[in-house]
Structure formats: C-alpha cells, structure tokens
Amino acid sequence: MVWSPTHEESCQFLYLSKMKGQMLGNVWLSESKEFALSWKPTNPSVVDCGHAFYGPGRISRSGRSHSQSVGLVTSNQLAAQLLAVENASQGAVVTLFRHALISLCDKINSLAFSLHSALLVDPTYVVRTMLQRLDIAATLPVIYHGNGVLQIYRCFSIPAPNYSLRPFNATCYAKPSVKVVLPSGTSVSLFWIPLR
C-alpha cells in the first residue's frame, strides 16, 4: 500500500477563485464588490500548497501614437472606424429592408387575391369603387378568364321616351331586348344589361 499525503490539508491558505477587479490606490476591490484587499508592492509573495499567492497586477495601456499633422479626414483610424460602422449599419439596414419588402409583397399578394376574387363576383361594383365613377360598367370576358383582361364600358342614361322593351319571340335570350332611338332618329336593337 502506497500512501501519498494530500497537499490541501497542510495548506495555510484556502484557494477561493481567480477574480477581476480594480486597484484604487493601495486597495484592490473586486468587480462583485464583495472582496477588498489592501496591497503594497513591497509585500512579500507567499507560496502555499504549490500556489503562489500574489496581489493584483496592474495592466497599463498606452494610447496609440499619432502624428499631430494628420487631420481628422485623412486619418487611417477614422477611416477604419467609419468602415466598421458602415459595415455594421449596412447589415442591419439590409435586414430591415428585406423584412419590410417581404411584408409589403405579402400584403400586395393578399390584396391582388382579394381583388381577383371580388372581380369574379361583381366586376362593375369593384371598378366603380376603385375609380370612384358611377358611369361605367365592367365585365370579365369568359374567353379571357385568368389572363387579367377586364372590359370596361362607359354608361350614359337614355331618356325614357327613347327606349322601349321589345317583345320576346320563340327564341330565349338571357338579357331582354331593347329598342333604342338615338337623338339622330336612328333606331338600334340592343340587349339590356341591368346595372346595380
């Protein structure tokens, strides 16, 4: 049986953790503000259980050297910072623009679908509402269904004495036949399409 002693049991100090903090004069204060140590550079280093116990080390940072003759506009550092800001903001703007464009396309597609559905049900009402005119009528030709063709007619009122319904004969029509007398005296036979 081989016995090896544990070094922790003979240690005078207990290792807690490695901490970060700031030196305020001769006092080191941890970032969590839970621990504070007074420290002097002349204090001796302590080695206990294979760990060196040492005080806080100061990290000194020196500013970058720059020539006073270099102006703000021609400075390489400013150019690099502006380029970094441009790249960061460009990515954000592209993402926002892409999302806005996708949302706009979705809304336009939804509007187009609604418009096509409404045109199939009542094209005259849709066209009158869109153009804000009551003197027009619209139809979707059966031949051109699905190709986006919409026929729009201009309507005008005919005085009651200038038209008369014609009697039906053995032929059956979907719309009633109307005899219209134009102001020139010419007589025309038409089919009456009632508008809402």
Backbone φ and ψ of 24, nearest 5°:
-115, 95
Q: Is residue 65 part of a domain?
A: no
Ranges assigned E (strand) in 15-168: 21-24, 27-30, 36-38, 46-48, 51-53, 136-139, 151-154, 163-165
Q: Is residue 149 part of a domain?
A: yes
User: What pLDDT score was predicted for residue 125?
Assistant: 92
Say whether pLDDT at 186 is over 70: yes
Which of 17, 95, 30, 90 is CA-nearest to residue 56? 30
User: What pLDDT score was predicted for residue 105?
Assistant: 93
Which of 43, 44, 54, 49 is CA-nearest to residue 19? 54
Q: Is residue 59 part of a domain?
A: no
Highest mean predicted confidence (pLDDT) among 13-27, 82-96, 130-144: 130-144
User: What pLDDT score was predicted for residue 127?
Assistant: 92
pLDDT, mean of residues 58-82: 61
Same domain, 131 and 152: yes
User: What pLDDT score was predicted for residue 90?
Assistant: 80
pLDDT per position as a tens digit, 75-123: 677 777 778 788 777 866 777 787 889 889 999 999 999 988 898 888 9
Contacts of 51 (CB under 8 A, 6+ apart): 13, 15
Q: Is residue 47 part of a domain?
A: yes
Q: Is residue 36 part of a domain?
A: yes
Which of 11, 16, 22 is CA-nearest to residue 46? 11
Same domain, 15 and 49: yes
